[in-house]
Structure 1
Amino acid sequence: MSRVIETWKFRPHPLLANAHMQTVFGLRWPQRAAPYAAQVHHVTLEDGDQLALHEDAPFGDAEEAPSILLLHGLSGGYDSSYMCRLVERLTPRGYRVFRLDMRGCGAGEGIARKPNHCGRSEDVASALNYIAELYTDSPTTLIAFSMGGTLALNMLAEAGEMRVGNFERALMICPPIDLFSVERHFRTLLGRPYDKFFVKNIWAQVLRRWKEFPDTAPKTIPSRPKRLRDIDDMVIAPTGGFDSAEQYYTKTQPGPKLEAIRQPVTILFSKDDPVVPFAPLFDYPHSSSVETIVTSHGGHLGFLGQPGLDADIRWIDWRILEWLEDPSCSFADSKAIEQACSR
């Protein structure tokens, strides 16, 4: 079994302690983004589809600089707030940052005929191998958010002890572990608004893909489905080679595969995540390579902390930096945490 730390001292912003406020304001909190300055690479996959990979060079642009691969969540992309913030945090500290747009997402629209889904683990492996070809001496750390973490966990479970590219370790933040639990949650009163949010965004992606590749569209374009599961049944499952949404969830959820992971992974969750239930994290055995950390609060990708403890209230960003800059640092090291929070 992995080491499981059930609590860690995250202190939510006093005006944003509610899980839904953490989630919504975590996405919408104002920020001044630096001008886009990335170099875009197109990673060609075996089936002919392509991924867009955005490279932001570190200050000094040393070829041997460590690389970071960032994976976005469902309906996200290279311009998601958490992706942009980390570029601004990491490049001045000497990291080369790659933001991956999964199939049909962000700048990936128009270069992939097939949609992204939780089983596209080979796409993550292709990005890691591509980075290793560009910078052979650059160790690569993977940081994944929400659904991006699901893809990455599947990839690592399938890889076993085989190193993919120059991969060294990974941090997964709020990844769906059990897809059935997410689907059930989206049927509840508290989960329904998030289901509607994703349906609106994902259906818009589907329509744009059908317009770009008319031969992939049905003869009659249906009206927008009411639930995300309907999109999974109608679009994701058949294009991914699955018989149904149920088979898709069964084959692509990473929970049953956590025991197969043999490379260093840290999974960070909040107990009050209103989008992805955290409880399944404890329903499956983990290998000793998987460290699991759960905070009491934080919402889904929110983690807006108390003012004055860090340079700004984006608590998760500063913990990521600490985790990166000290490989021996554990999120569970309470002394290190208290010292970091007092800086």
Structure 2
Amino acid sequence: MSCDFQPPWWSRGGHLQTVWAPFFARSGKISFRREIWTTPDQDQVAVDWIDAPAAAAPVVILFHGLGSSSRGHYALALAVALQQRGWGGCFINFRGCGGIDNRLPRSYHAGDSAEIAWMLEKVAALLPDRQRYGVGVSLGGNALLKYLGEQGSSAEQVLSKAAGVCAPVDLVATAEFLQQGSIRFYNRYFLINMKKTARRFQQRHPEMADWTQVFLARNLYDFDEYFTAPVHGFAGAQVFWEKGSSAPLLRHIQVPTLLLHSEDDPIVPIASVRAAVLSPVMTACVTQHGGHVGFMTGPFPGHLDWLPNTLLDFFEGRNNP
């Protein structure tokens, strides 16, 4: 694999890569096979599969980012790349994502490594003889990395390799970063989408949270203070961010793992990534450009094949940097 990403002349800059890729870049059409899994606490999640032509083909397990799903631009691009290589894919939607509502008065969050654990164990039980690789993107990346750090060598039983893409490994630093200058646009974008999701919870679980405070939230701190933290058992946003960050655990990872970021990511501050101490089995790939899960290449309006091919090359052991 190569860590050298070069954007086309018309899409230089982290903001353009970040904003353009989800809406306009080309990834190709894909058809998933959907399953509904019952969680250990009797909730439900939607899981979308890419079936491989060969029964022994490797399978990639994808965990998506905040407000996304198995239909995210990076997910569709990965699905296309998997089909081209004859691999399988297991794209897991977190609770309340992927077009179905969950049953219980809880959601998903960046530090929910317990959720990652049972999902990976279920895939391992379903496909015990397949090579299994895990990919976490943004929020899903932090949750996957946290799981890997907590589990240490035990994670080798469920995954052969893993990758975290644009993961906010330091949630405190990321939340503070999003309050700065023009970057506040992303803070507002996430907040609008999270409030939309919260209104669905309000209709089904009116006692779940202090809804007045939730909908008055003006930033991520307020939302996590009045929704994410209390709903998931944390004593406030600051405690949630500190306990949910994967950075302190990266040194304990024993599964070979790619940590992929870009210098011009407008959401995750690269300084917080560089400050983390990595395990010897981790490979850092920091590109100069790419934005936040953008990585568009080619002529206008752009293609999204660089990221999935970089991930799959890493899993295959091709020219690791």
| TM-score between both structures, scaled by the size of structure 2 | 0.92
- 1:234 matches 2:231: no
Residue aligning to 1:51? 45
Q: Specify whether residues 186 and 321 from structure 1 end up closer, same or farther in structure 2 by C-alpha distance, changes over 3 A only.
A: same
**Alpha-carbon contact 2:156-2:254 (below 8 Å) kept:** no
How far, CA to CA, are the matches of 1:313 and 1:151 in structure 2?
24
Q: 1:269 aligns with which of 247, 261, 266?
A: 261
Distance 1:298 1:222, change over 3 A: closer
1:211 CA displacement:
1.4
Change (3 A) 1:96 1:271: same
CA gap of 1:283–1:107, structure 2 versus 1, over 3 A, is same
Give me the whole-angstrom Cα distance separating, in 2, the residues matched to 1:79 and 1:112: 23
For the pair 1:19 / 2:11, whether they are aligned, the reply is no
| Corresponding residue of 2:132 | 140
The answer to whether structure 1 residue 316 and structure 2 residue 316 are counterparts is no
Determine the structure 2 residue equivalent to 1:205. Answer: 197
Q: Is the 8 A contact 1:43 1:52 kept in 2?
A: no
How many angstroms apart in 2 are the aligned matches of 1:222 and 1:90? 40
Spell out, residue by residue over 1:146-180, the C-alpha distance to the aligned partner (whole angstroms, 9 max, x if none): 11110001100110110365311111111001111
For structure 2, which runs of at least 5 residues remain unmatched after alignment?
A: none
Change (3 A) 1:206 1:327: same
> How far 1:187 sits from its partner (Å)?
1.1
Query: CA separation in 2, counterparts of 1:122 and 1:227?
Result: 27
2:306 corresponds to 1:327: no
**Alpha-carbon distance, 1:267 to partner:** 0.3
Q: Is the contact between residue 146 and residue 175 of structure 1 (CA under 8 Å) also seen in structure 2?
A: yes
Q: Which amino acid aligns with 1:48?
A: Q
SS in structure 1 of the partner of residue 225 of structure 2: helix
SS of residue paired to 2:182: coil
Write the distance in 2 (CA, Å) between the matches of 1:101 and 1:180: 25
Distance 1:111 1:77, change over 3 A: farther
> Given that residues 168 and 174 in structure 2 are in contact (C-alpha distance below 8 angstroms), is that contact kept between their aligned partners in structure 1?
yes
Measured after TM superposition, the shift of residue 314 of structure 1 is 3.6
Q: Is the contact between residue 43 and residue 127 of structure 1 (CA under 8 Å) also seen in structure 2?
A: no
Q: 2:310 corresponds to which letter in structure 1?
A: R
Residue 243, structure 1, aligned to residue 238, structure 2: no
After superposition, the Cα gap between the structure-2 partners of 1:32 and 1:96, relative to the gap in structure 1 and judged at 3 Å, is: closer
CA distance in 1, matches of 2:136, 2:212: 36
Please list, as runs of the form range in 1=range in 2, the aligned pairs for 1:82-97 lying within 5 A after superposition.
82-97=74-89
CA contact (8 A) 2:214 2:222 kept: no
1:224 to 1:78, Cα distance in 2 relative to 1, 3 A: farther
Within 1, Cα distance between the matches of 2:101 and 2:200?
A: 8
SS, match of residue 203 in structure 1: helix
Matching residue's letter, 1:52? A
Contact 2:166 2:293 in 1 (8 A): yes
Determine the C-alpha separation between the residues in 2 that align with 1:25 and 1:298. Answer: 11
Shift of 1:306: 4.3
Aligned equivalent of 1:67: 59
How many percent identity over aligned positions? Answer: 28
Between 83-92 and 20-29, the greater mean CA deviation after superposition: 83-92
Instruction: Indicate how the Cα distance of structure 1 residues 109 and 273 shifts in structure 2: closer, same or farther if over 3 A, else same.
Output: same
SS in 2 for 1:144: strand
Work out the CA distance in 2 between the residues paired with 1:164 and 1:251.
24
User: Is the alpha carbon distance of 1:79 and 1:165 closer, same or farther for their aligned partners in structure 2, counting shifts above 3 Å?
Assistant: farther
Contact 2:152 2:255 in 1 (8 A): yes
**Number of the residue aligned with 1:9:** 4
**CA shift for structure 1 position 70:** 0.7
Q: Kindly tell me the number of residue pairs found equivalent between the two proteins.
A: 319
Q: Give the SS at the match of 2:99.
A: helix
Cα distance, 1:312 vs. partner? 4.4
Give a deviation string over 1:165-212, Cα, whole Å, max 9, x none. Answer: 531111111100111111111111132000000001111111112213
Q: For residue 319 of structure 1, report the CA deviation from its aligned partner.
A: 1.9
Name the TM-score, length of structure 1 as normaliser. 0.86
- Report the equivalent of 1:3: none
Change (3 A) 1:101 1:183: same
Matched residue SS, 1:241? coil
CA shift, 1:39, in A, is 2.4
RMSD: 2.2
